[in-house]
């Protein structure tokens, strides 16, 4: 029987008003790192989604690789996020915070006192940019700096930062957290043997390279519960100068098995083709489903037809939409009614202010952006 993706559904631990998720998207609208009324308005406008996953949110002052992103490591940030979660809950939507550490994909100007960013090793990301300040103090894209390899004890410190941010998220009213294990950032850097050359318990084979991710998951589960802990993964991705390696399939099969044991709220997969990187290979989603019987979200190049087909087939449970939500705050209503979508303007995706942020119109309003 065909699934109506626009109807309420109990999906694992999640009771959602529909099967559409707003995927996390960096918008760089917080000069002081503290969420405010503009963020609350932005997310409230898009709360037609059954599940909202916020933009990547820094777990510490050293986790950042982009200027003007919000965090979840100070009391002021927690108070700011309370405005966002309250606004979304008033629209009967569910909201998770995506917890983010960029690792080596950062620049000294993003770091406290200009220190080096950190990574699993000191291998620098080639052809990869952060958003920071150049040597003349001018804001813009800057090459990722050479990282400092985390010591074994420092790895534990980062895990604690994830835990503290998760606790702060729940205090701020979030329904759960999504660990950012994707898109070439720190967690995924540990998975990749071309970047992770460690000789301690966090490197050397699939189990050891996966240990950092699984220890974060375990620690966050202990802090906030498995029903509030999700993760995002990008198998076969290449962002952040992560080369493909012959153990990719085996790595994600192992992770699927281990995450299944932990009964987390969902795994959020992304196809990076829409980000200009590698597509998921044909048949991978179906193979992943055979390894993992929990809730799966898929984002990246989704449309209504693809969403319905994959959900009807039982391959995924929730369809994630990213960029279309930026220029179509009423995206769910547009999809449901087959209304035309307003095309995005990527020149307005980032930067301070409300233009291109909260001033996009619904289908029934005249466009001004």
Residue of 42, 43, 68, 185 marked catalytic: 185
Pick from 275, 28, 273: nearest CA to 140? 28
Q: How many CA atoms lie within 13 A of 79 on its CB side?
A: 3
Spell out a b/e string for 12-45, using b for 16 or more CB atoms within 10 Å of the CB, else e.
Answer: bbbebbbbbbbbbbbbbbbeebbbeebbbbbbbb
Contacts 24+ apart (CB under 8 A), 257-260: 257/291, 257/292, 258/210, 258/214, 259/214, 259/217, 259/231, 259/292, 259/294, 260/291, 260/292, 260/293, 260/294
Residue pair 35/70 in contact (Cβ under 8 Å)? The answer is yes
Catalytic residue at 292?
Answer: no
Which residues, 6+ apart, have CB-to-CB distance to 231 below 8 Å? 178, 179, 181, 213, 217, 259, 264, 266, 267, 268
Residue pair 139/133 in contact (Cβ under 8 Å)? The answer is yes
SS3 labels along 250-294: HHHHHHHHHHHHHCCCEEEEECHHHHCCCCCCCCHHHHHHHHCCC
Angstrom distance (rounded) from CA 64 to CA 28: 11
* Count of positions (residues) in the chain: 369
**Phi, psi for 78 (deg, rounded to 5):** -60, -45
H-helix or E-strand spanning residue 337: helix 331-337
Q: Which residues are known catalytic residues? A: 185
């Amino acid at each position: 029987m065909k699934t109506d993706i626009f109807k309420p559904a109990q999906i694992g631990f999640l009771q959602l008003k529909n099967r559409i998720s707003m995927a996390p998207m960096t918008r760089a609208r917080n000069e002081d790192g503290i969420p405010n009324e503009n963020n609350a308005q932005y997310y409230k406008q898009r709360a037609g989604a059954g599940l909202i996953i916020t933009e990547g949110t820094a777990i510490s002052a050293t986790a950042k690789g982009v200027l003007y992103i919000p965090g979840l490591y100070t009391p002021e940030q927690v108070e700011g996020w309370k405005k966002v979660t309250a606004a979304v809950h008033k629209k009967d939507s569910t909201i998770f915070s995506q917890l983010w550490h960029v690792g080596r994909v950062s620049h000294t100007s993003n770091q406290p006192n200009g220190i080096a960013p950190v990574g699993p090793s000191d291998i620098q990301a080639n052809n990869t940019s952060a958003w920071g300040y150049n040597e003349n103090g001018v804001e813009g894209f800057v090459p990722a700096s050479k990282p400092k390899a985390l010591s074994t004890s420092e790895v534990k410190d980062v895990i604690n930062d994830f835990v503290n941010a998760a606790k702060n998220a729940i205090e701020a009213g979030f329904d759960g957290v999504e660990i950012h294990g994707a898109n070439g950032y720190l967690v995924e850097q540990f998975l990749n043997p071309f970047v992770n050359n460690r000789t301690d318990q966090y490197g050397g084979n699939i189990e050891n390279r996966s240990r950092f991710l699984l220890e974060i998951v375990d620690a966050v589960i202990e802090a906030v519960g498995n029903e509030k802990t999700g993760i995002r993964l990008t198998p076969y991705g290449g962002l952040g100068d992560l080369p493909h390696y012959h153990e990719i399939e085996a790595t994600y099969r192992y992770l699927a098995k281990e995450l299944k044991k932990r009964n987390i709220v969902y795994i959020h997969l992304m196809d990076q083709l829409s980000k200009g990187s590698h597509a998921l290979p044909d048949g991978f989603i179906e193979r992943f489903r055979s390894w993992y019987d929990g809730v799966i979200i898929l984002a990246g190049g989704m449309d209504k037809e693809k969403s319905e087909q994959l959900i009807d087939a039982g391959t995924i449970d929730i369809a994630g939409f990213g960029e279309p939500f930026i220029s179509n705050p009423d995206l769910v209503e547009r999809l449901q009614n087959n209304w035309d979508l307003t095309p995005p303007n990527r020149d307005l995706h980032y930067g301070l202010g409300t233009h291109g942020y909260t001033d996009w119109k619904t289908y029934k309003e005249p466009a001004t952006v």
